[in-house]
Chains A and B, each alone.
Chain A
């Protein structure tokens, strides 16, 4: 459907997109996830032909976006970051214009326009000037424009920005519905949004793809892991044996400290075995001076992959396997009650205010929406 090969985009010396490659299959919803400035919009702009890549190739349905731009663009409906609206028109006129430019005519055009007005619930405002519409309605006109004429691929850059919670749910439903017949690519810096609608997640950071997995893969693995970080007075070998003797502890690593050892235990499941560990060590009179329980959440995976860690800034691998992603040790943090929620629960619990956030600051300062830090 869409094939992106070795895409590179440089702005002067700055590399916005570095060697990005992926394929998009028909009839799936793909989520582009990454912090602000990760290169999501740039990649999307290149795919849709709005921007030329420094090097690399994009083919849509077999048409190269540079060689046969007209044929390739005819397969795409695109909603850029800022909806490209002519504010001196009404939504109806605007959609008719876009429809005509997409090559629709006569009865077919009016039917297509009516259909998208219906789908995006614009009936009430279709005769008002776009400049007088609220941001949410403008966003919806933008979405209507993208899905007009039933393009095979629909690319939406942050489609729910500026919408109220009810509209967000509506638009997500709409995207899910579109995903049944179309290929949809949407970008977001909001994890919950991606996990709510997407089949496949592509995590992008610093212009590189750091993970490309189906959502099931990500969530299955995410459910089964947790860690304990602790400091123990005593020697490492004994501590390791002791820890491993506790049921539920799969692995134990240790490193010596000035006094005692620092240990990192990997759990089998999500069972909290802190009490067992405490008593086991107490029996041997090895005092535990600090202990942190920590779960790997999708959120943490995301933070880890997109943060300024050694993995995210690119050790050479463009694509990490799921195993690697989940093998990455997360920074020591205190146990977080919010992390107990399942992914599904989290999806429902998105605060509306957060989804309207435009700028979360730089990559390093990314603020998770729920729990996390």
Chain B
């Protein structure tokens, strides 16, 4: 595992990707910090972080797009499959290498609150809490985008899908707000989701009867549930969608709250997507 980790890290720094990623992140946080903290005079570094958060939409896909897509493209994945290393180790090594690259600008950012504290009173607790949450948010997004990269052979496609997925999670709370919170609307939404699940099952298994069966079963279950307990459906879909809004969880840290549920949430997302990536590679062997 350490061999793959070292190789990955080396390739990030021998190529441009790692350097550009770090420079871009530092440049943007630098600008925001200058505007908010130095020019604006706010002692809270977390405001700068909250402003800069959108750059994940561009920076993370750049970092992750080649991680697994390029292996497949260059056929080097065959080497990884043939080496006496488990796929979990391969994925972990790759993930940790990306997290290491990402940790560099975070490490630099850790000095900013200290610099600010030279010129006034800074609540270091909330600043470092925010930096931790910022780090975990980034790690969660890296895990998601790594999974996307494992689905395709093309770096470009991986990057485009990653941006789309991140944009969706970024705008998720806004989208959830657009959906009426009545029970009927939730039911309609779930039926649409059921059809989507059916389509995905159809694409993945190439077995139309099974897909139709799954769709009908799910639709029936949802409808029955709706008639049994329709109050449960009130506002359910918007709530669920808000649950997918990774970026919003960061807000409470900016307001000075150390939200443990958000930390657990990010770690869960990381674990889930690392696991899904391993499964995606495993599936590649079975196709």
Residues of A within 8 A of B (CB): 11-12, 45, 48-52, 69-71, 73-74, 76, 78, 80, 82, 84-89, 93, 97-103, 145
Tell which of A78, A97, A103 touches B82, judged by Cβ atoms closer than 8 Å: A78
Tell which of A74, A86, A99 touches B76, judged by Cβ atoms closer than 8 Å: A86
Chain A neighbourhood of B76, CB < 8 A: 84-86
A88 to B4, CA, bound (A): 14
Indicate if the CB atoms of A101 and B3 lie closer than 8 Å: yes
Chain B neighbourhood of A88, CB < 8 A: 11, 14-15
B120 within 8 A of partner (CB): no
Chain B neighbourhood of A97, CB < 8 A: 3-4, 6-7
Indicate if the CB atoms of B74 and A84 lie closer than 8 Å: yes
A73 to B78, CA, bound (A): 12
Given contacts A84-B74, A86-B7, A100-B2, contact A50 B84 (CB under 8 A): no
Chain B 8-27 interface residues, beta-carbon cutoff 8 Å to A: 10-11, 14-15
B86 within 8 A of partner (CB): yes
Q: Nearest 3 CB-CB pairs, A to B?
A: A100-B3, A84-B79, A101-B3
Indicate if the CB atoms of A145 and B79 lie closer than 8 Å: yes
Can you spell out 30 A-B residue pairs with CB atoms less than 8 angstroms apart? Answer: A11-B287, A12-B206, A48-B81, A50-B81, A50-B82, A50-B285, A70-B84, A70-B85, A73-B83, A73-B84, A78-B78, A78-B82, A80-B78, A80-B82, A82-B78, A84-B76, A84-B82, A85-B74, A85-B76, A87-B74, A88-B14, A89-B11, A93-B10, A97-B3, A98-B3, A99-B3, A100-B2, A100-B6, A102-B84, A103-B84
B286 within 8 A of partner (CB): yes
Instruction: For the complex formed, measure the closest distance between the CB of B34 and the CB atoms of chain A, giving whole angstroms.
Output: 35
A51 to B7, CA, bound (A): 24
Instruction: For the complex formed, measure the closest distance between the CB of A64 and the CB atoms of chain B, giving whole angstroms.
Output: 14
Instruction: For the complex formed, measure the closest distance between the CB of B225 and the CB atoms of chain A, giving whole angstroms.
Output: 37
Interface size class of B (residues with CB under 8 A): 20 to 34
Indicate if the CB atoms of A73 and B3 lie closer than 8 Å: no
A101 to B78, CA, bound (A): 14
Smallest CB-CB separation from B1: which chain A residue? A101
Residues of B within 8 A of A (CB): 2-4, 6-7, 10-11, 14-15, 74-79, 81-86, 206, 285-287
Chain A neighbourhood of B83, CB < 8 A: 73, 98, 101-102
A144 to B79, CA, bound (A): 13
Chain B neighbourhood of A45, CB < 8 A: 78
Q: Knowing that A51-B81, A85-B74, A97-B6 are A-B contacts, what are 11 other residue pairs whose CB atoms are under 8 Å apart, sorted by A's residue number? A: A50-B78, A50-B81, A50-B285, A70-B86, A78-B82, A84-B75, A84-B82, A93-B10, A101-B3, A101-B84, A102-B84
Instruction: For the complex formed, measure the closest distance between the CB of B185 and the CB atoms of chain A, giving whole angstroms.
Output: 41
Chain A neighbourhood of B3, CB < 8 A: 97-101
A50 to B285, CA, bound (A): 6
Smallest CB-CB separation from A51: which chain B residue? B285
Indicate if the CB atoms of B7 and A76 lie closer than 8 Å: no
Chain A neighbourhood of B14, CB < 8 A: 88
A99 to B206, CA, bound (A): 41
Instruction: For the complex formed, measure the closest distance between the CB of A45 and the CB atoms of chain B, giving whole angstroms.
Output: 8
Tell which of A52, A70, A84, A93 touches B78, judged by Cβ atoms closer than 8 Å: A84
Given contacts A52-B285, A100-B6, contact A76 B86 (CB under 8 A): no
Chain A neighbourhood of B82, CB < 8 A: 48-50, 73, 76, 78, 80, 84
A101 to B75, CA, bound (A): 17
A329 to B2, CA, bound (A): 58
Indicate if the CB atoms of B81 and A49 lie closer than 8 Å: yes
Given contacts A50-B81, A52-B285, contact A101 B86 (CB under 8 A): no
Indicate if the CB atoms of B6 and A69 lie closer than 8 Å: no
Chain A neighbourhood of B81, CB < 8 A: 48-51
Most chain A C-beta atoms within 10 Å of own C-beta, residue among B74, B81, B84, B287 = B84
Instruction: For the complex formed, measure the closest distance between the CB of B79 and the CB atoms of chain A, giving whole angstroms.
Output: 4
Chain A neighbourhood of B11, CB < 8 A: 86, 88-89
Most chain B C-beta atoms within 10 Å of own C-beta, residue among A48, A50, A82, A87 = A50
Chain A neighbourhood of B74, CB < 8 A: 84-87
Tell which of A12, A52, A100 touches B286, judged by Cβ atoms closer than 8 Å: A52
Instruction: For the complex formed, measure the closest distance between the CB of A103 and the CB atoms of chain B, giving whole angstroms.
Output: 7
A69 to B81, CA, bound (A): 10
Chain B neighbourhood of A11, CB < 8 A: 287
A45 to B79, CA, bound (A): 11
Chain A neighbourhood of B10, CB < 8 A: 89, 93
Chain B neighbourhood of A49, CB < 8 A: 81-82
Tell which of B6, B75, B85, B206 touches A80, judged by Cβ atoms closer than 8 Å: B75
Chain B neighbourhood of A82, CB < 8 A: 75, 78
Indicate if the CB atoms of B86 and A98 lie closer than 8 Å: no
Smallest CB-CB separation from B90: which chain A residue? A101
Chain A neighbourhood of B7, CB < 8 A: 86, 89, 97
A76 to B75, CA, bound (A): 18
Indicate if the CB atoms of A69 and B86 lie closer than 8 Å: yes
A154 to B83, CA, bound (A): 13
A52 to B282, CA, bound (A): 9
A231 to B175, CA, bound (A): 85
Chain A neighbourhood of B84, CB < 8 A: 69-71, 73-74, 101-103
Chain A neighbourhood of B206, CB < 8 A: 12
